[in-house]
Structure 1
Amino acid sequence: MKRTGTIIFLLFIVVAFLFGIRYLWLKDKQDPVVYDTEQASIQTIVRKTVATGSIVPKEEVLIKPNISGIIKEIYVEAGDNIKSGDLIAQIEVVPNVSSLTNAKNNIAAARTAVETAKLAFENQKSIYDRQKALFEKGVISANDFDGIQNSYNQAEQRVKQEQVNYTSAAQNYDIIKTGTTSGLGNAATTQIRSTITGMILDVPVKAGNQVIEANNFNDGTTVATLADVDKMIFEGKVDESEVGKIKEDLPLEITVGAIENKTFDATLDYIAPKGVAENGAIQFEIKGTLKKTDSTTFIRAGLSANASIILQKAEDVLAVKEAVVQYDPKTKKPFVEVEIGDQQFERRDIEMGVSNGIFVEVKSGITKDDKIKVWNQIKAPTGFGGRG
């Protein structure tokens, strides 16, 4: 019984040994693991961040009336190019009853003042004529006559002043009643004229609409919106995580959704010093002035746009994919493995530059002809599917 157990044990050892020999033989027949290689290439690498926003005019002017009334006629429409001083609309004044009554009373008072001044002048003229005759005969002295002449001159001046007051009261009455008066010409308050040269972006009123004048207590009704469409800016927002990476005067590449396959150059010239909370994140406003575009491309105000803010740019530099770069576990310095023989590699420390997340600039450590190990892309042995 004891001998049978020994024989079984020895047979088990022999079988195990034979299986081990077969396993090693099969393993030796498999192809070794093969690493793919890549070479560095010449690339233009741009590191950038993106801001969303829209294209708006650099300066937008709101045209408002300086008198209240009803729009009688509009002479322009959105899209028209006009010059400074061109007529935009005409207002028909609806006079205020109280103001009109006061103006009438002022005219009556001014007319009475003129008549009173004329009577006083006539009386003073009679005295002057008598005293002049006596002075010429030598009856009164020159000093006495000078006093009479001074009173005469004052009476004459008073008549002229009261006539001016009457004319002013009459003009004020006309302005209250009709919005204009004789002698105003282009300055008539019923005529709304452009204050700049540019394009009409919007005319939010129609004939028959009532408008309110702009004053210290009211912004007034906007009759038209104008802007110089040759001076456009990008206006957008960046997240607080990105605002620390940007600075003024950085170049922008603007893409407009409505204009395909075209980019516009701009310069970042404003970053808001204070952020605003939006949807749980702090956003900072930025503005960038677009460079003059060709005459064939018209960018409409309000179009949605994206701005690529170029943080760093390296043109025509030696670069490799970031996937082939390894980092020393102790020093954290970057290196690559360069092929020196058939599937034999050696470590090369490199100095990196600008990266866009896919390619990274290599300033030193390798050449364009070096074959670099793709360490994280191992090809399967041919015994399990063949080389890739």
Structure 2
Amino acid sequence: MKRRGTIVMLAVIVILTIAGIWYIVVKDMEDPVTYETETAEMQTIVKETVATGSIVPKEEVNIKPNISGVIEKIHVQAGDYVDAGDLIADIKVVPNVSSLTSAKNSIAAQRTAVQTAKLALDNQTAIYNRQKELFDKGVISANDFDLAQNNFNNAQQRYRQEQVSLSGASQNYDIIRTGTTAGLGEYANTNVRATVSGMILDVPVKEGNQVIESNNFNEGTSIALLADINKMIFEGKVDESEVGKIKEGLPLEITVGAYDNRKFNATLDYIAPKGVAENGAIQFAIKGTLEPSENNSFIRAGLSANASIILDKATDVLAIKEALVQYDPETKKPFVEVETGDQQFERRDVVLGLSNGIFVEVKEGLSKTDKIKVWNALKAPAATGNYGG
């Protein structure tokens, strides 16, 4: 029994020895681990966040009529430039029957008042003439004559007032019936004119459409949308996770896809104080004024755009890839490994600056000639054997 146990132990020892020798031989046959290196380079690092939105005019003016009626003629179309005061459309008045009847009755009543005032004036004129003749002969006193003259003057004034009221009633009737009257052609309500200079963005009505005047009880019908296209802004939204990183005055870089991703400069000048829930997230509205384009490019209103909000920027600084940086497990300070010989490296502490998530600025610790270890080891590809027949 003892002899059998000894043989088993010797067999186990021999097997383990052979396995150990085989493992060492295999490991010696494997290719050694090699490390690639990279060098630092000059970069412009921009830290930014992106907002989606559109390009819209800074100020849009909605042209509405001051009188209800039917569009008789439109003098402009979308894309036209107009100056303040230019004619946009003519309106044919469709009078209100009740208002028209009331105006007619007012004219009739006023004509009666004029006739009554004329009769009173004729009567006072006759009295005045008789009293003057008697006064000249010394038959009546000066007080009696003054009373007659005063009544005559009052009758004249009354007659003139009634004539003016009749003229006003006639003008009011004309305005209700046609929208204008004699002597007021320049200010006719039937002429819809531009209130500011700019481009016509839209004409939502056609000739023959009925329109409603703008008043305290009705917004009125929009006849034209007018804006100065040289003053455009970006309107967009940012997520609540980003709104704390931005502030008014930051530069924006607007990218418009419709123009081959051409970029326009802008300045952030508004951040909404209150967010709005959209698709389960809180969004904050922002606005940025576009700077005038150097080549005066025409930017169409309503185009979709993306705004890169530049949070920080470092121009022409020494930078390396973030993936090259390692951190001390105890001090958490950054360092890199710099090549000192063939596949020989030493630790080099560095001071980092601005990062965009891919590249990071190196303020101290490296030069452009230093070769930095790519610390994720890369094995050489295994040799392919030749198998003959």
| TM-score, normalised via structure 1 length | 0.94
* Identical counterparts, % of pairs: 70
Distance 1:150 1:354 in 2: 95
Bigger mean CA deviation after superposition, 199-208 or 14-23: 14-23
Task: Find the counterpart in structure 2 of residue 99 from structure 1.
Answer: 99
Partner of 1:74: 74
Distance 2:98 2:27 in 1: 110
The unaligned stretches of length 5 or more in structure 1 are: none
Which residue does 1:133 correspond to in 2?
133
Shift of the alpha carbon at 1:17? 2.3
Distance 1:111 1:295 in 2: 67
CA deviation map 1:254-297 (0-9, x unaligned): 11121104101111111111111111111111111111114552
Shift of 1:338: 1.8
When the two chains are superposed, the root-mean-square deviation of aligned CA atoms in Å is 1.8
Shift in Å, 1:12: 4.4
Match of 1:293 in 2: 293
SS in structure 1 at match of 2:206: coil
Q: CA deviation at 1:383?
A: 5.4
Question: 1:35-46 maps to which residues of 2 (within 5 A)?
Answer: 35-46=35-46
- The aligned counterpart of 1:199 is 199
Match of residue 275 from structure 1: 275
Evaluate the alpha carbon distance shift between residue 147 and residue 349 of structure 1 in structure 2; reply closer, same or farther with a 3 A threshold.
farther
Moved more, 296-305 or 5-14: 5-14
Query: What SS class does the counterpart of residue 258 from structure 1 fall into?
Result: helix
Q: Deviations over 1:343-366 (max 9, x none)?
A: 222222222221111001111122
Structure 2 portions without partners, runs of 5+: 385-389
Is structure 2 residue 224 aligned with structure 1 residue 224?
Answer: yes
Give the Cα separation in 1 of the matches to 2:295 and 2:230: 10
Work out whether residues 257 and 305 of structure 1, in 8 Å CA contact, stay in contact via their aligned partners in 2: yes
Q: Separation in 2 of the partners of 1:50 and 1:31?
A: 47
* Matched residue, 1:324: 324
Equivalent in the alignment of 2:346 = 346
Q: Conserved in 2, the CA contact under 8 Å of 1:30 and 1:381? A: no
Aligned partners of 1:163 and 1:68: how far apart in 2?
30
1:378 and 1:90 mapped to 2: Cα distance? 80
Matched residues in 2 for 1:188 and 1:383: separation? 92
2-structure distance, mates of 1:41, 1:143: 113
Larger displacement relative to structure 2 (38-47 or 339-348): 339-348
Question: Structure 2: how far apart are the matches of 1:181 and 1:360?
Answer: 76
CA distance in 1, matches of 2:333, 2:147: 108
- Rate the CA distance shift 1:342–1:156 in 2: closer, same or farther, 3 A: same
How far apart are the structure 1 equivalents of 2:141 and 2:32? 141
- CA distance in 1 between partners of 2:202 and 2:295 (Å): 22
Matches within 5 A, 1:339-378: 339-375=339-375, 377-378=376-377
Q: Residue 78 of structure 1 aligns to which amino acid in structure 2? A: A
- Look up the SS of the partner of 2:258 in the other structure: coil
Q: Distance in 2 between matches of 1:11 and 1:49?
A: 69
CA–CA distance in structure 1, aligned partners of residues 330 and 123 of structure 2:
116
* Count of aligned residue pairs for this structure pair: 384
* Counterpart-to-counterpart distance in 1, 2:268 and 2:25: 68
Q: Return 122-131 or 107-116, whichever deviates more.
A: 122-131
Alpha-carbon deviation of 1:145? 2.9
For residue 101 of structure 2, what is the amino acid of its counterpart?
Answer: T
Indicate yes or no: 2:260 matched with 1:252.
Answer: no
Q: Distance in 2 between matches of 1:52 and 1:200?
A: 26
The one-letter code of the counterpart of 1:345 is: F
Report if the CA contact (8 A) 1:82-1:200 is conserved: yes
Find the counterpart in structure 2 of residue 380 from structure 1: 379
* Conservation of the 8 A alpha-carbon contact between 1:351 and 1:364: yes
Structure 1 CA distance, aligned partners of 2:166 and 2:87?
A: 31
Contact 1:30–1:382 under 8 Å retained in 2: no
**Equivalent residue, structure 2, for 1:183:** 183
User: How far apart in 1 are the matches of 2:112 and 2:12?
Assistant: 142
- The letter for the 2-side match of 1:114 is V
Quickly say closer, same or farther: Cα 1:62–1:370, change in 2 above 3 A.
same
The answer on whether the counterparts of 1:203 and 1:223 sit within 8 Å (CA) in structure 2 is yes
The CA deviation at 1:36 is 1.5
- Cross-structure match for 1:10: 10
| SS of corresponding position for 2:35 | strand
Distance 1:174 1:157, change over 3 A: same
Deviation at 1:88, TM superposition (A): 0.9
Q: Could you give the per-residue CA deviations for residues 24-71 of structure 1, whole angstroms, max 9, x where no partner exists? A: 244234343222111111000011111111111111111111111111
Aligned to 1:233: 233
Distance 2:238 2:310 in 1: 14
Letter in 1 for 2:378: K
List aligned pairs for 1:10-29, cutoff 5 A.
10-29=10-29
Q: Residues of 2 paired with 1:144 and 1:333: CA distance?
A: 117
Aligned twin of 1:333: 333
Once the two structures are TM-superposed, the CA of residue 3 in structure 1 deviates from its matched residue by 4.1
Counterparts in 2 of 1:84 and 1:295: CA distance versus 1, 3 Å: farther
